[in-house]
A and B are shown apart, each in its own frame.
Chain A
């Protein structure tokens, strides 16, 4: 059946605040308003929350990767003085149902396993005790009898498994969770007509965010009100937090989720349903508040959010003029034992799968397989970091095979400034960009030519120095369609991903902004303060920021997908507009002037062209709060000075029914160019950095200092992914890197001394002030850039990298093989 799919038109821009204005706060390096309390140890993270009469939980975790639970004996544990309850999965299941799952059809998951464990670290039993020490003592007294089942570790084996090797037989007789092929554009014709096809196979390793604070929750249940209060360091609670109520079997208004600041997330504290539901369930069972904080092993073995784990077969088609025309990828994705987010990671990657290049056709076959590992979730990039790696790695392969210049090849294939807004084959739109400008800035900042000369000198001295290049996309501001559009059946096909704020000006003129999403290590308070100070022309010290719980919150999708600054700016502009109107109405009455003749000026409202004819915001606010009867008797003019506004996604359209066009779902398109200079010690396999340049274009800069902080931090994580980090499971499904002595993250000693950050600003035509997101970029650009630099350094040996991480040991193996081949 051939149907012609007509793309929906590009919706008009709803931008109110244009880029390029003279601004007082936006664009400046402002010290973060969050910092003084964090620096003095007054942050109030989740483990700092104590409630009266509170109990402590500890979790017994499976030592087996795949097994039936034959019996659990809790008698000795329950008898230990100080123990209040010992509960198995079956006990918890009496009051608490399966956890929320965003895939369709869902994969059933419980906060404590019932009958069967599917990965090492899965919760088997819980002890609640008067102290965490006693709870952990009691764990040692629980006896579990397992009946081992075949362990699925290798995804290529797991897809073939039958019988007891199938993890979730109730879902069908296979471990394949989803297998689906998507084609966009004339991909078969492009490959048939190609002058050259470049082919590679690649392994992207499972790594993880490793925030230094684990996930935790402190829950209480008021039996009189039948209501839960859950303090937690999660996000998305004002978006999908209500789904936890379904697990707990109560209406959503009987659960209040209270945010605390998070000690890092990088995506990995998205939702965190297991911990929150478990703590709440225990509080109800015990009739007392319960604290459960993951310890580090809990988090490493059983968090919600291991990163992507994929095997790629990739093919790139080029025409006779060395233009890239088609991309084909077969991906096998090792999702682990549960499937909480479905294949949303691949939907995410399809937003920018052609990178910054004019590739006109794409063929993607995704096979998601379930294995006996911890589940995948979100980690800085949400799958797009892998697609970035693949496209850049194919570009490098093409450059290498064709003997071309990697800078000029990129430049020739770039989408050009005049092409925007540019619809890529998958249907997503790139709103704006200037990729050559970013490349040129990186070349200049690095002194690329100078480094090439130095490299030649080093080669003569027998030193292996390489220069890497990666020119990558950084999509920002997701639309909710990415959650479901790749499923065979859409399930809950939501299309909203809003962000709200509420603002109150108190009678003395001070301002409180309530956000509906948490602090995650980003700078939401600083961003809100800067943008609102700009909007209302007030001093930032007169603004404070609060975080709404779900009882009081508006819609808030929260940080993730590099969306927060863009979205909260939209909400603040909307709410400030409402406040401005009311300030002008009240001030107009006080000044006997028409609101149309008024303007904001440094904490005051005044009559245009009449200096001195003005009222302070404090005077106006006092009037609005307490002098109702001295204002006109107009029912639309109510007491108080407050506003709320919910901002929806600035530019999104629906996917087509046949998914040949995924619609516009991730259009606010940032870009980056990373250029590391590395030296490889061929004797030890150690990679060290001689220089590193990272130029980012995140549209209009709000705070260059904090954006550079994100770039450097993300780059450090990208270096970890490229060179060191891996959740390594052995053939029995044991996680061999389940502590920080074995799971190796970069310390100061492994990182570049100076990641030199540059900025290019190509404002978005669709967002307020032209801001684009910038939270994930470093990790989305560093891995291909480093891989490229290592291959460049080892070019005399002809070494190609086909798997990350490129550990010293792995590199030594490649070098040894290369020397053997020469000898």
Chain B
């Protein structure tokens, strides 16, 4: 199959790759770039586990071709924090027990990060709106809501300190 060259900035690093036009963005991230933090749950756009930010917008990477990201900027869960320096959203999920198996978590985190960038003080309805399209089979979602609320609080503390 013919390939096409694309240039995508992922987590701040610019990659030039030759890809098949049909290659999914999720597979591009996972298998071409070895960024396996983005998980594929249903591969038909329902579960939201594969959500990444494409030019800042939450996007299901299983419904998006890698070529559509040509020239764009992609952020995945690997862009957030490290185990010894968690992003406030990750820290909040840890504190509030917002995950169990962890498979839906990267998608939840990216949706929630998008929300807090636009709205640092979201009410419950705004949080429900932001993550209500993602499936989690472990938690019953309650602690995920609490995690996003806690992340907003942590970010406020950080910005007040700064």
Contacts and interface: CB of A to CB of B under 8 A. Distances in A.
B40 interface: yes
Contacts of A37: 83
A105 interface: no
A260 to B, nearest CB: 12
A295 B43 contact: yes
Contacts of B80: 40
Given A212-B137, A739-B46, A741-B46, A36 B83 contact: yes
Interface in A200-239: 209-213
A751 interface: yes
A372 interface: no
Interface string A720-751: 00000000000000000001110001011101
A705 B82 CA distance: 24
B138 A713 contact: yes
Contacts of A209: 137
B37 A717 contact: no
Interface string A607-618: 000000000000
Interface in B26-71: 30-31, 35-44, 46-47, 49
Contacts of A32: 94, 97
B39 A213 contact: yes
B126 to A, nearest CB: 12
Contact of B90 (A39, A48, A754): A39
Contact of A31 (B95, B105, B145): B95
Interface stretch (A108-116, A262-270, A358-366, A619-627): A262-270
Interface string B106-148: 1001000000000000001000100111111111111101000
A301 to B, nearest CB: 14
A34 B141 CA distance: 19
Interface string B82-113: 11001000100111010111111110010000
B2 to A, nearest CB: 13
A41 B101 contact: no
Contacts, number: 168
Contact of A39 (B30, B36, B94, B142): B94
Given A40-B37, A212-B49, A35 B99 contact: yes
A451 interface: no
A215 to B, nearest CB: 13
Nearest to A31: B94
B102 A35 contact: yes
A283 B39 CA distance: 25
Contacts of B38: 41
Given A37-B83, A41-B78, A741-B46, A213 B101 contact: yes
A422 interface: no
A264 B138 contact: yes
B156 interface: no
B14 interface: no
Given A38-B102, A266-B137, A713-B139, A47 B30 contact: yes
15 contacts: A32-B94, A36-B83, A38-B102, A39-B90, A39-B109, A40-B82, A45-B36, A212-B136, A521-B101, A713-B137, A715-B140, A716-B137, A741-B46, A747-B141, A755-B140
Interface of A: 31-32, 34-45, 47-48, 50, 133, 209-213, 261-266, 295-296, 520-523, 705-706, 708-710, 712-713, 715-717, 739-741, 745, 747-749, 751, 753-755, 778
Task: Give the 5 A-B residue pairs with the shortest CB-CB distance, closest first.
Answer: A41-B37, A521-B101, A263-B103, A38-B102, A716-B140
Given A41-B35, A212-B42, 6 more contacts: A39-B90, A521-B100, A715-B140, A717-B137, A748-B132, A748-B141
